[in-house]
Amino acid sequence: MKFWEKEIFGRKLRIENGKMAKQSHGSILLTFNESTILLTVNASETAKPGTDFLPLTVDFKEKFYAIGKIPGGFVKREGRPSEEAILSSRLIDRPIRPLFPKDFHNEIQVISTVFSMLNDDSIETWSIAAASLALNISPIPFNGVVAGVRVGLIDGEYIAFPTQEQLSKSEIDIVVAGSKEAITMVEGEAHEVSEEIMVEALNFSHKAIKEIISIQEEIISEFNIEKWEVEVPEYPEEFINDFKSLINKETLFEALMVEGKKNKDKKLKEFKDSVFEKFEELYLDKWTEEFYLEKKSYLKETYEEIFKKLMRRSIVDDNKRADGRKIDEIRPITCEIGVIPRVHGSALFTRGETQSLGITTLGAPMDVQMVDTIFSDEDKRFMLHYNFPPFSTGEVRPLRGPGRREIGHGHLAERSHKNLIPSESEFPYTIRVVSEILESNGSSSMATVCSASLSMMDAGIPLKKHVAGVAMGLIFEEDKNVVLTDILGIEDHLGDMDFKVTGTREGITAFQMDVKVDKVNEEIMREALDRAKIARLKILNLMYDAISEPRPELSPFVPKIKTITIPVNKIGDVIGPGGRIIKKINETYNTETSIDDEGIVKVSGMAEDMVDKAIKYITGLVSEIEKGKVYEGKIKRVEKYGVFVEVLPGKSGLLHISNMSKKPTELKIDDKINVEVISIESQSKFQLKEEGYEKPKRAPRPEKTSNDKNDSNNDEKKDKDIEKENGGN
């Protein structure tokens, strides 16, 4: 067993190897402050026949014992991963995936298991460095050393691995990963910060990353690991040249420049199929069918390389993109509002051949999502969900639940808006936005950001600003590089960078970047951010033209919500034993009622008059009976000596026959009568008189007789009746 300890970023870092999971190809036990993960890497020693991609799987396993909790639910053990765990898995995957050799097609599994966790330690970010270290000390081929850092900004000071308290005051919350040479991944959110602040944050992040990498390099130097050899297939040069001779680059370029994704894809497929058909016709006898079928996958790679080079040189040398746009040009955009009837808010955002239908639903406070993970235990009142059906790209695929990509795209769009959502006190509704991707040819997540903003304003949510997003790309060819605005799907696939920036007119709200090369320097980053700002402002202008401010009124299909505050000591009076009273309120008025620990009561329902009645009833429950005050009461019980009148919910007083103008028998249960409180013994025992009634003057009272005892007994009976009428309190 080996271990290394170091003080870094004001906390203790301990790394161990050789104590746990010794049968894994590589394992690291990493403890930062009070958080510990076991990072294991394993791979099959041979690739499956026919595999022509990297079968890498990364899992972040959250364990509730890590935070001293037992999982909720019936089963009481961890089940399917939470969205936070899936996002953490993606966070680890993205920086390490490009560093495996191109021809390495063995199955690889990376698992980060959380043994203990303090949220301040950002242990999911440390999993990036742990994965890099475990892979480097394993026999699995891996080209490079990477690390990640979480960064905040408070009062102009950048902080590495900020605590949760610090993040609550921070202008930014980003996770950055990279090598010694360059940044390769960014993910995070911000409170409308400038492009200059973001560049400075990335520079600060890179310095911190280098510190973590230097620790890794010290550890790696103590190991002498023999890496598996990557078999690079060798082919007769003539075999490749025969195939290349059939690719007419002029015809291929013409197919690349065809307008429209479907037409372009059709022409490109026809050309590619024709090349392979010609090869089979002309050279199959020369190379034999068996040899050809064995090496066909390499010919496909050769074709893709030629196609990739052709597209990239067209952009770099001739400033020609696949759809004819200039490098800084945005595709045509249309914004439509209120396109779906009955839903609370809707918007259709179309940019070129990418289309997102954003639909907003407003729910009651009870509709919040209860989040219970090792990262958080909270009620989430703003949700944004992203759906990517197969028809959006004209494909046929089984319909499954949301995959990691869908969860990641939805999370990015949600982060873009979450810091601008009105507070619960300002707007008590639970908000859910769903983005249905109807067409996709590049940056559907950024289209989602735009459609969500438009649909929320259409729903009448009091947003102060629109948020828009745009995806930037990058092409490196030899000593030249070109930054692309609003990239197509093909430019994302064959380019070197996918760089997404969202924000308002005032600044950046979210940020995501994945880079396939280690050449992105500060100058390129500044250019990309400046171009992204120009594009974002153009998109925002079009969105403000469509709807400049939230609709003044909510849809009639939105539930009505009203809020009151009651004394904390009266909460139990509204809830009742076993929730009996609050259930009765909801059943009687067809409402939903929630009460928090501070006495804030929210009542929601489709009928406003019923909500008002429920509010009135609750107000009555917690109100105090006041002497001298006149109430409109309802007769609940009739006796010979008087009637019991309910003046507030659950509070009835005695209106004695001597204090009313009619005989009790002339009144019926549920009759309404105005009464005045004339005396209070307690909130459950008080006397009433009919409003405006004046007792007639009576002769002097005679001296007591033997019947006085009976009168006293009658008084006791009245007292007991009053107590009985008010629940025996």
Residues tagged in the binding site annotation for Mg(2+): 492, 498
Nearest to 32, CA basis, from 120, 133, 134: 120
3-state SS of 507-546 is CEEEEEEEECCCCCCHHHHHHHHHHHHHHHHHHHHHHHHH
- Residue 179: helix, strand or coil by DSSP? coil
Annotated binding-site residues read 492, 498
Residue given tokens 């489709």 in the structure block: 606
Residue 102, Cα to own-chain centre: how many angstroms? 34
Asked if 532 contacts 501 with a C-beta cutoff of 8 angstroms, the reply is yes
Q: For the chain, how are helix, strand and coil distributed in percent, rounded to 5?
A: 35, 30, 35
For residue 671, the cross-strand partners are none
Transcribe 52-77 into DSSP letters: -S--EEEEEE--GGGGT----SSS-S
The residues pairing with 362 across neighbouring beta strands, listed in sequence order, are 431
Torsion of CA 523, 529, 532, 533, to 10 degrees: -120
Listing DSSP states for 101-154 in one string gives -TT--S-EEEEEEEEE--GGG-HHHHHHHHHHHHHHTSSS------EEEEEEEE
Alpha-carbon 78 to chain mean position: 21
CB contact at 8 A, 536 and 470: yes
Pairing of β 651-656 and β 685-690:
parallel
Nearest to 591 by CA among 578, 609, 575, 579: 609
Whether the Cβ atoms of residue 492 and residue 516 lie closer than 8 Å to each other: no
CA-nearest of 332, 327, 259 to 491 is 327
Name, in order, each residue with C-beta under 8 angstroms of 709's C-beta and a sequence gap of 6 or more. none
604: CB partners within 8 A, 6+ apart: 364, 365, 366, 559, 560, 561, 562, 591, 592, 593, 611
Residue written as tokens 């929601």? 604
